Structure 1
């Protein structure tokens, strides 16, 4: 295993350097993830980010100075504390956004509401939509943001790092014949997991786990105790916001998972909700954390 980490360390040093980037800007056109085409004749200087994953991505490529406002849920990196807040993800304050006179608003397909999107469109704002549902989607988003903010070199460096991380862990998994059966829980009441179409499932696979509910038809299916017992997970991955300090979550796990190998052997992995659920640059941290817990 040491040879894998040595190789990854070398790749990380070689590929990643997020430096200040200043270069001449040329006008261009680009399509967002809905297929809508946008023209950029100058670098946006008053960007409003309506999703934490977007905010993290902009800061990661060194474009924080282009961002004037973020949502109440944008809490990483710490420098986001200096930005104006525009309310929630689903229900941003349109009046506050309008008062800021943004030259670009960045939003997502899954996290933001259609009504908020339409309100901003009706007011004449340039609203660019992203939909990063997997690693390739994250790489595209970073590339688009790099071009829009004139931080292409920084974005390319981060893209290479994420891609090399994915390739590194894929190589590890190719050498392993079996992976531990695992259930990922994003809700305890009701019990909700993830299927193979989700971003979370890709992280779990790269970290070397086998999602036992990958074959479900819905992206976030509700499951029951009987189906859990039948599939008998060896690991339980639980997002941190469900693991309250009172320990009540343990009683819920005992209710549904009593008799499973995961509970018998205390194989419960609690991971930071933001790291696991936000499709952005911290995908690397999510994979590395889960891999270290096997």
Structure 2
């Protein structure tokens, strides 16, 4: 092949592989080719990359990323507010994945790294993120089947919820409170698909900080949250009058399944199944 034709072919191939990605901060990023070296600073994004077949391309993760098991062997790079900037730069990533709330990553961009800031509040965010990450990996065809699988799992979980609990009011506590999963959060949307009525209205936002008296007045029929916190619920002022506590309708989750429930990623369907499992056991 003549040198000029070889050069033109290489330029065409390079252009064919180039990607333009818009993140949830509204920024457009141009990559010359699908990312081969990825740093993820959010567990749900780590899980999404792996679910899309890109685990081998991860070169570093945040301290909380622990699924699937192979990511535990990767360098841990801190969190959103204390990311190890120098270490991340030394890893020479093609892209850094982070939350839109990450504030400590401006330095990475100033140093020339591509930082994709992604929102993770609702089911639609998860679907959009999976699509973007599939493109980032050069495998856009993987996103739709994965999302369809999640939808099937959600539907199957909803079918398992006992009729007696359909329409029951529910309070899902984040950590040990006072934050809750609101109706507009991905957790709230899952609860709605399971046929439950969230006591936290959408107008309060995805994960609002609540006054404990709000929960007492709302009188939820079901309480959900970390198992380690639920033994002390009756000690909170006025909480012994809540129907969920009076009737023993508590879903307390150990650390590992609780992590699953609060991560807006490719295991949304599995999270719904865990919720349905608990609901099946309630009186």
2:182 paired residue number: 195
Structure 2 counterpart SS, 1:236: strand
Structure 2 counterpart SS, 1:293: helix
1:42 paired residue number: 33
Query: Within 2, Cα distance between the matches of 1:182 and 1:121?
Result: 42
* Of 241, 261, 268, the match for 1:259: 241
The alpha carbon displacement at 1:94 in A equals 0.4
Deviations 1:212-265 (A, max 9, x none): 12255244333344332322111100135xx16xxxx41233424202211112
1:124 paired residue number: 112
2:231 paired residue number: 250
- Pair 167,128 (structure 1): closer, same or farther in 2 beyond 3 Å: same
Structure 2 counterpart SS, 1:270: strand
Query: Within 2, Cα distance between the matches of 1:208 and 1:253?
Result: 26
Residue 269 (1) aligns with residue 258 (2): no
Answer with 1 or 2: which has the greater Rg. Answer: 2
Residue 285 (1) aligns with residue 270 (2): yes
Structure 2 counterpart SS, 1:68: strand
Aligned length: 259
2:126 paired residue number: 138
Structure 1 unaligned regions, length at least 5 = 1-24
Query: Within 2, Cα distance between the matches of 1:153 and 1:265?
Result: 48
The alpha carbon displacement at 1:285 in A equals 1.2
1:16 paired residue number: none
TM-score (norm 1): 0.79
1:69 paired residue number: 60
> In 2, are the aligned partners of 1:29 and 1:38 still within 8 Å (CA)?
yes
Deviations 1:93-147 (A, max 9, x none): 001111111111111113x2x2x22111111111111113211111111111111
Structure 2 unaligned regions, length at least 5 = 1-15
Query: Within 2, Cα distance between the matches of 1:187 and 1:161?
Result: 28
Query: Within 2, Cα distance between the matches of 1:33 and 1:202?
Result: 20
The alpha carbon displacement at 1:57 in A equals 0.3
Question: Which stretch shifts more, 50-59 or 272-281?
Answer: 272-281
> In 2, are the aligned partners of 1:143 and 1:159 still within 8 Å (CA)?
no
Residue 85 (1) aligns with residue 76 (2): yes
The alpha carbon displacement at 1:282 in A equals 1.1
- Pair 194,159 (structure 1): closer, same or farther in 2 beyond 3 Å: closer
How big is the alpha-carbon RMSD for the aligned residues of Structure 1 and Structure 2? 2.5
> In 2, are the aligned partners of 1:52 and 1:71 still within 8 Å (CA)?
yes
